């Protein structure tokens, strides 16, 4: 041993002896540390985890920002852009923790890595590393495109946060940016990286491109090597190995890549070990040299034991010193954190005091505003009371003034009406006088003056309501029957609009060649003037000279305009259509009930059914048939040649063949109009189409949807009535009775009243029209029950039990009860 060859003691220079190596503690100073010399005296390091470093700088670089990148490209790209904005003009180091997969994919599924063979595992691990290399290359490309200088560090670890903590410790990282999946600061503070990372590192936790929390550094970086921080009992050889590893750049450091040390390196290492002993054992170099002169083996053995004991004591002292150093730094960190908390608490208290003062000031100002508002409220209340009193007085005065105005208006209207009546009476008397004078002159010239002609003479003068007009009056009202005043043209004449007797009127000028003589015309007009019904167009006057009838003008058009015109402004809902059908039936019943002779309309069609401002119908053109000569009316070619083709579908087939006109002719036309109101379709072929749809059970498909959602019972009742009225044989058509009219009038109201449960068919869930009793004792709609049995069912729809027979019995009593309920007011 070299220790047994003593030499003269060296001279002491600067606290140590010349000729000897500097104390071991000097090798731990980072300021005087020479790694190349240290590598020369350091044995090969033991095998460590593989760390890949690309472009990394020395330990504890202050200007470099370390960014933790992960496999999620979206998260990493957002994190990099945030880092570029936050740390401008600073170098970036991409930190990637490679986490080997716990399983590997196989043909049989995923297999745990510890159960797979080494070849498959090695191949899969190599694929993982290649994917990670490509991923990091992409991230470096992003940095290059953003003109940011970047390098990379990769470490293999099973846990992300533990690997990050190890990298911070090993490389002395002072600024680290990492993405976190946690959504609040409390969870982030509990993470492993936030709690276990060294206190000299600032960690910026970012979530979705926004800074969530920053763990600030509480002390400067330690001035010793990372391996010593990780293991206090690490040997000098391990420390120097760590320094050598930390100095390597742009490569993967492995033990087999380190060249064997030379013999001079071994000598230097032995010398270093010797100096380590002299520095830590307490013996001076002179004493050791003195001991080297002992020749006895016992003394040599004793010297070795003392040397070993000194070495052991030095190791213990070093461990205790290191532990005390760590404890002191921990206490300093806690003290700094406590001071920060105290400062934050004092700042919070100051803010709270300021906030409290502000709130008190605001409360005082609000109270002042409240007092002002209360004063203003009292003033406004007093003003409101005075105003209300004035309003009450003014309201009374206004009511009195309105009452006086109404009375004055009423008196004025009475006076105006009286004046108008007097003017009309004056004109009427004047016309009657002039007509009487002319007729007396004519009869005198013919020698026909006698008592037998007085009745005929006063046919028109007996009517107080009908006004006889002259041809000049009609020409003035229509501008000589101008085409611009024509509003319609029919089988018997043209209709003009004009202004007569201070009102709008419709003037129907009949064709002279289709009308009987003037005397017969006057007689028929006298009869028609006696007809009064709310749903008949009112006959105002007549002009025997022009063979013209003057009716009231209905401004809302006809049913034809609303059902088939594309420019109709008002759609007719189903309730209005049902009410119109009832009103038409009421007017026809009035005409058919007239005495001494029944009046047949004989020209009933949608064009002749007008609608007033409230959409109530008024039937027009009634009685014109009786003004036609009998021989002309009975001629089959008269109707076909004179009437438009659109009116033929409304004609009674029997009347077209035989020429006989009866009340059943109007019933047929009424049935076609009902079907049009329900379906909204043209009349040609409508009866056959509706009959087929009912037989096939497709009645709902033919309903006019523009009228809204039709109630099934109401639509079915109208369709059945329309088909009943359109029977080919007139004897099969129904008569218009008050009961039927009342039922039609109550149909729109049936939906607004609660329906008795025993009126509803259990199958269709609607009011029954033709109730039948089945074998189970329950009553069903006849058509619905027959359809039930026709489908092969022989069980009860209510009890699901087998029926004893399949016969159905009409329930007339229930049918009458349903009709009475529908007819009730």
| Per-residue pLDDT, 465 | 56
Secondary structure in 3-state letters for 457-487 = HCCCCCCCCCEECCHHHHHHHHCCCCHHHEE
- Are residues 180 and 223 located together in one domain of the fold? yes
pLDDT category at 665 given cuts 50, 70, 90 is very high
Provide the 3-class DSSP secondary structure of residue 205. strand
Provide the 3-class DSSP secondary structure of residue 735. coil
- 318 in any annotated domain: no
Q: Which of 61-65, 314-318, 675-679, 801-805 has the lowest mean pLDDT?
A: 61-65
H or E stretch including 373? helix 297-446
**Structural domains in the chain (count):** 5
| Per-residue pLDDT, 425 | 75
Give the residue, 258 or 166, on which the prediction is more confident: 166
- Are residues 487 and 412 located together in one domain of the fold? no
Alpha carbon 310 to chain centroid distance? 86
| Per-residue pLDDT, 341 | 93
Contacts of 752 (CB under 8 A, 6+ apart): none
Average pLDDT over residues 610-624: 85
What CA–CA distance (Å, rounded) separates 586 from 592? 10
pLDDT category at 54 given cuts 50, 70, 90 is low
Q: Which of 257-271, 317-331, 354-368 has the lowest mean pLDDT?
A: 257-271
Is pLDDT of 322 > 70? yes
Secondary structure in 3-state letters for 224-238 = CCHHHHHCCCCCHHH
- Are residues 499 and 576 located together in one domain of the fold? no
Give the residue, 292 or 137, on which the prediction is more confident: 137
- Are residues 749 and 799 located together in one domain of the fold? no
Give the residue, 641 or 475, on which the prediction is more confident: 475
Which of 211, 235, 257 is the C-terminal boundary of a domain? 257
pLDDT category at 435 given cuts 50, 70, 90 is low
Minimal CA–CA distance to 666: which of 591, 738, 732?
591
- Are residues 433 and 483 located together in one domain of the fold? no
The 10s digit of each residue's pLDDT in 110-153 is 888 888 888 888 888 899 889 989 999 999 999 999 899 999 98
Can you give the residue range of the structural domain that contains 534? 463-553
- 328 in any annotated domain: no
The 10s digit of each residue's pLDDT in 332-344 is 999 999 999 999 9
Is pLDDT of 260 > 50? no
What CA–CA distance (Å, rounded) separates 772 from 779? 5
DSSP codes, 263-275: HHHHHHHHHHHHH
Give the residue, 279 or 348, on which the prediction is more confident: 348
The 10s digit of each residue's pLDDT in 748-793 is 776 656 778 788 888 887 788 889 999 998 999 888 888 888 888 8
pLDDT category at 526 given cuts 50, 70, 90 is confident
What CA–CA distance (Å, rounded) separates 191 from 204? 13
- Are residues 473 and 433 located together in one domain of the fold? no
Minimal CA–CA distance to 509: which of 496, 522, 519?
496
- 323 in any annotated domain: no
| Per-residue pLDDT, 748 | 79
Contacts of 340 (CB under 8 A, 6+ apart): 218
- 305 in any annotated domain: no
| Per-residue pLDDT, 674 | 95
Contacts of 419 (CB under 8 A, 6+ apart): none
| Per-residue pLDDT, 196 | 82
**CA contacts within 13 A on the Cβ side of 499:** 2
Residue 795 near residue 817 (C-beta atoms within 8 A): no
Average pLDDT over residues 464-476: 79
pLDDT category at 627 given cuts 50, 70, 90 is low
CATH of the domain at 797: 3.30.40.10
Show binding-site residues.
514
Which of 736, 753, 770 is the C-terminal boundary of a domain? 753
The 10s digit of each residue's pLDDT in 346-401 is 999 999 999 999 999 999 999 999 999 999 999 999 999 999 989 988 988 898 89
Minimal CA–CA distance to 649: which of 588, 605, 693?
605
| Per-residue pLDDT, 344 | 92
- 21 in any annotated domain: no
The pLDDT mean for the chain works out to 76
- Are residues 580 and 723 located together in one domain of the fold? yes
Is pLDDT of 290 > 60? no
| Per-residue pLDDT, 239 | 32
- Are residues 748 and 758 located together in one domain of the fold? no
Question: Residue 724 — φ and ψ, nearest 5°?
Answer: -65, -40
Is pLDDT of 421 > 80? no
At residue 350's C-alpha, the angle toward residues 346 and 353, to 5°, is: 135
Percent of the chain with pLDDT over 70: 74
Provide the 3-class DSSP secondary structure of residue 561. helix
Average pLDDT over residues 546-569: 82
- Are residues 575 and 714 located together in one domain of the fold? yes
Show binding-site residues for ATP.
514
- Are residues 571 and 607 located together in one domain of the fold? yes
Distances (CA, A) of 725 to 400, 606, 667, 715, 734: 59, 16, 6, 15, 6
| Per-residue pLDDT, 331 | 93
Which of 702, 723, 753 is the C-terminal boundary of a domain? 753
- Are residues 575 and 668 located together in one domain of the fold? yes
What CA–CA distance (Å, rounded) separates 239 from 231? 10
- 236 in any annotated domain: yes
pLDDT category at 109 given cuts 50, 70, 90 is confident
| Per-residue pLDDT, 98 | 87
- 625 in any annotated domain: yes
Q: Which of 373-382, 523-532, 541-550 has the lowest mean pLDDT?
A: 523-532
Q: Partners of 503 in the beta sheet?
A: 500
Instruction: Label the pairing between strands 539-543 and 467-468.
Output: parallel
- Are residues 734 and 774 located together in one domain of the fold? no
Q: What share of the chain is helix, strand, coil (3-state, %, to 5)?
A: 55, 15, 30
- 299 in any annotated domain: no
What CA–CA distance (Å, rounded) separates 498 from 506? 6
Is pLDDT of 585 > 50? yes
CATH of the domain at 678: 1.10.510.10
């Amino acid at each position: 041993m070299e220790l047994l060859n003593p030499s003269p003691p060296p001279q002491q220079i600067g606290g140590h002896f010349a000729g000897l190596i500097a104390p071991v503690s000097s090798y731990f100073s980072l300021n005087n540390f020479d790694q190349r010399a240290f590598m020369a005296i350091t044995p090969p390091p033991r095998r460590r985890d593989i760390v890949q470093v690309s472009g990394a700088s020395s330990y504890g670089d202050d200007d470099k920002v370390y960014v933790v990148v992960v496999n999620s490209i979206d998260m990493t790209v957002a994190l990099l852009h945030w880092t570029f904005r936050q740390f401008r003009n600073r170098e970036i180091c991409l930190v990637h923790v490679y986490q080997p997969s716990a399983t590997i994919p196989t043909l049989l599924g995923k297999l745990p890595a510890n159960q797979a063979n080494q070849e498959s595992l090695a191949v899969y691990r190599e694929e993982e590393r290649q994917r990670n290399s490509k991923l990091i290359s992409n991230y470096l490309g992003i940095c290059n495109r953003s003109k940011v200088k970047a390098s990379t560090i990769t470490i293999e670890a099973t846990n992300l946060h533990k690997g990050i903590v190890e990298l911070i410790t090993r490389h002395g990282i002072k600024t680290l940016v990492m993405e976190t999946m946690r959504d609040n600061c409390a969870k982030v503070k509990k993470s492993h990286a936030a709690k276990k990372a060294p206190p000299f590192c600032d960690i910026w936790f970012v979530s979705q491109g926004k800074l969530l929390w920053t763990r600030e550094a509480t002390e400067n970086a330690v001035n010793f090597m990372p391996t010593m921080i990780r293991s206090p009992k690490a040997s000098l050889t391990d420390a120097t190995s760590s320094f050598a590893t930390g100095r390597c750049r742009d490569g993967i450091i492995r033990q087999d890549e380190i060249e064997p040390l030379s013999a001079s390196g071994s000598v230097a290492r032995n010398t270093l070990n010797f100096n380590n002993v002299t520095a830590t054992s307490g013996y001076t170099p002179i004493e050791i040299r003195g001991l080297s002169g002992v020749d006895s083996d016992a003394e040599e053995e004793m010297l070795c034991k003392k040397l070993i004991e000194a070495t052991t004591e030095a190791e213990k002292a070093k461990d205790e010193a290191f532990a005390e150093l760590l404890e002191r730094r921990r206490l300093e960190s806690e003290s700094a954190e406590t001071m920060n908390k105290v400062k934050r608490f004092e700042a919070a208290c100051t803010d709270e005091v300021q906030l409290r003062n502000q709130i008190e000031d605001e409360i005082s100002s609000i109270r002042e505003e409240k007092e002002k508002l209360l004063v203003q409220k009292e003033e406004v209340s007093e003003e409101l009371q005075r105003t209300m009193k004035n309003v009450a007085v003014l309201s009374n005065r206004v009511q009195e003034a309105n009452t006086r105005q109404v009375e004055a208006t009423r008196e004025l209207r009475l006076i105006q009406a009286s004046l108008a009546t007097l003017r009309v009476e004056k004109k009427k008397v004047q016309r009657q006088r002039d007509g009487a004078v002319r007729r007396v002159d004519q009869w005198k010239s013919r020698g026909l003056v006698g008592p037998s002609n007085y009745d005929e003479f006063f046919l028109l003068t007996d009517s107080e309501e009908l006004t006889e007009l002259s041809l000049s009056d009609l020409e003035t009202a229509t501008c000589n029957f101008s085409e611009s005043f024509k509003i319609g043209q029919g089988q018997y004449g043209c209709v003009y609009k004009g202004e007569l007797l201070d009102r709008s009127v419709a003037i129907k000028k009949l064709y002279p060649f289709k009308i009987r003589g003037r005397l017969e015309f006057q007689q028929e007009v006298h009869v028609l003037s006696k007809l009064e019904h709310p749903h008949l167009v009112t006959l105002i006057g007549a002009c025997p000279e022009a063979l013209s009838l003057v009716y009231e003008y209905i401004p809302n058009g006809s049913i034809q305009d609303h059902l088939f015109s594309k420019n109709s402004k008002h759609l007719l809902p189903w309730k209005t259509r049902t009410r119109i059908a009832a009103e038409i039936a009421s007017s026809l019943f009035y005409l058919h009930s007239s005495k001494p002779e029944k009046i047949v309309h004989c020209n009933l069609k949608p064009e002749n059914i007008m609608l007033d401002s409230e959409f109530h119908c008024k039937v027009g053109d009634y009685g014109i048939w009786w003004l036609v000569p009998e021989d002309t009316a009975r001629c089959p070619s008269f109707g076909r040649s004179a009437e438009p083709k659109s009116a033929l579908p409304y004609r009674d087939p029997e009347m077209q063949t035989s020429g006989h006109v009866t009340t059943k002719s109007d019933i047929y036309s009424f049935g076609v109009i009902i079907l049009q109101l329900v379906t909204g379709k043209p009349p040609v072929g409508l009866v056959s189409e509706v009959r087929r749809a009912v037989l096939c059970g497709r009645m709902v498909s033919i309903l006019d949807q523009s009228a809204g959602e039709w109630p099934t019972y109401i639509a079915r009742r109208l369709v059945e009535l329309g088909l009943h009225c359109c029977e080919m044989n007139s004897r099969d058509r129904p008569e218009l009775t008050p009961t039927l009219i009342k039922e039609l009038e109550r149909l729109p109201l049936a939906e607004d009243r609660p329906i008795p449960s025993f009126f509803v068919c259990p199958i269709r869930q609607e009011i029954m029209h033709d109730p039948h009793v089945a074998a189970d004792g329950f009553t069903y709609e006849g058509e619905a029950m027959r359809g039930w049995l026709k489908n092969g069912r022989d069980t009860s729809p209510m009890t699901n039990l087998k029926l004893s027979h399949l016969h159905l019995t009409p329930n007339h009593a229930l049918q009458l009860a349903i009709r009475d309920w529908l007819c009730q007011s």
